[in-house]
């Protein structure tokens, strides 16, 4: 993408796992970026539709991520309202982050595909960075990760691969009208992923499997965990992690012309950065 001082690109969730990486890449190329978040100015809040118009004013393209997750009820209606407003205000290109095996997510994909904008869909597997930048981190630091579905393998995708793809989709014409289902290069159960992290971090980290019901019930006992987050994890562990996604795709190869990053590379990089070292 050529350097420009023209209209910005809106990155919704620009402080999140993929959004922050997309923002850094675009800014490194000299592309003006507008962060879409509640703390930004102008602010963007999925729960406050009056904030949307200011966020998209003058924007030429947008990376769309839905908070807290596109799998939850209400996401489709919000995506539909946002895309209609965006296209009506001159936004030309939309890149949507979607999820594998999620019914609501696939309905949202259809909304974007029929919006009238140039579109690209990135349909992703579970992020490797969930182990270092999300809800698994606390358990890893404590030396014990409690989670269901230890027998269901998942091809974890690196958020850096997603960011590379999104920037390419925002930059290049050849990605318009493409749906990329993206995974890592191999399957790992959550138990195996924790074992790799334990080895890379040179720490003893136990994996404790529980039922989905017990996991959700335990989460509900914590006052600092929002109910919608518990609902999301229960939905993902009960429905998405039921074996429907136990296959590998070539989305990264098709989009970027290279192999996706392996989970072991992620584990080594993250361990070297000291993220998983328990506090003394």
C-beta of residue 166 within 8 angstroms of C-beta of residue 97: yes
* CATH class of the domain defined by 9-128+158-184+246-261: alpha beta
| CA dist., res. 82 & res. 159, Å (int) | 24
Collect all residues with Cβ–Cβ distance below 8 Å to 41 and sequence separation of at least 6: none
DSSP calls for 189-241: -HHHHHHHHHHHHTS--EEEE--HHHHHHHHTT-TTS-HHHHHHHHHIIIIIT
2 or 186, higher pLDDT: 186
Look over the chain and give the mean of its residue pLDDT values, rounded to a whole number. 94
Average pLDDT over residues 246-256: 98
Q: Alpha-carbon distance 120 to 268, whole Å? A: 31
Where are the chain's structural domains?
A: 9-128+158-184+246-261
User: Which pLDDT score, from 0 to 100, does residue 279 have?
Assistant: 60
Mean pLDDT throughout 241-267? 97
Q: Please classify residue 125 by burial: count the beta carbons closer than 10 Å to its beta carbon, then call 0-12 exposed, 13-18 middle and 19+ buried.
A: buried
Tokens representing 161?
């691969």
Using CA atoms in the order 196, 101, 250, 184, what is the torsion angle rounded to 10 degrees?
Answer: -10
Residue 198, exposed/middle/buried by CB under 10 A (0-12, 13-18, 19+)?
A: buried
């Amino acid at each position: 993408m050529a350097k420009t001082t023209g209209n910005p690109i809106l990155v919704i969730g620009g402080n999140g796992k993929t959004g922050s990486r997309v923002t850094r890449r675009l800014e490194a190329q000299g592309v003006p970026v507008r962060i879409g978040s509640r703390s930004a100015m102008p602010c963007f809040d999925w729960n406050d539709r009056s904030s949307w118009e200011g966020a998209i004013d003058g924007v030429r393209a947008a990376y769309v991520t839905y908070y807290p997750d596109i799998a939850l009820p209400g996401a489709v209606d919000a995506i539909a309202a946002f895309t209609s407003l965006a296209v009506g205000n001159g936004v030309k290109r939309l890149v949507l982050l979607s999820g594998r095996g999620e019914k609501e997510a696939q309905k949202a994909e259809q909304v974007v595909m029929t919006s009238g904008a140039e579109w690209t869909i990135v349909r992703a597997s579970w992020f490797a960075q969930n182990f270092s930048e999300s809800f698994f981190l606390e358990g890893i630091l404590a030396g014990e990760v409690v989670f269901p579905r230890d027998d269901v393998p998942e091809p974890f995708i690196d958020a850096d691969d997603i960011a590379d793809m999104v920037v390419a989709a925002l930059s290049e014409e050849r990605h318009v009208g493409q749906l990329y289902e993206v995974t890592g290069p191999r399957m790992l159960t959550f138990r195996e992923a924790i074992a790799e992290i334990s080895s890379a971090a040179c720490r003893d980290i136990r994996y404790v499997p529980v039922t989905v019901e017990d996991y959700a019930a335990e989460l509900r006992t914590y006052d600092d965990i929002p109910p919608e987050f518990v609902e999301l994890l229960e939905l993902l562990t009960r429905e998405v992690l039921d074996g429907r996604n136990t296959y590998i795709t070539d989305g990264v190869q098709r989009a970027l012309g290279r192999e996706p990053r392996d989970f072991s590379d992620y584990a080594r990089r993250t361990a070297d950065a000291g993220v998983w070292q328990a506090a003394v």
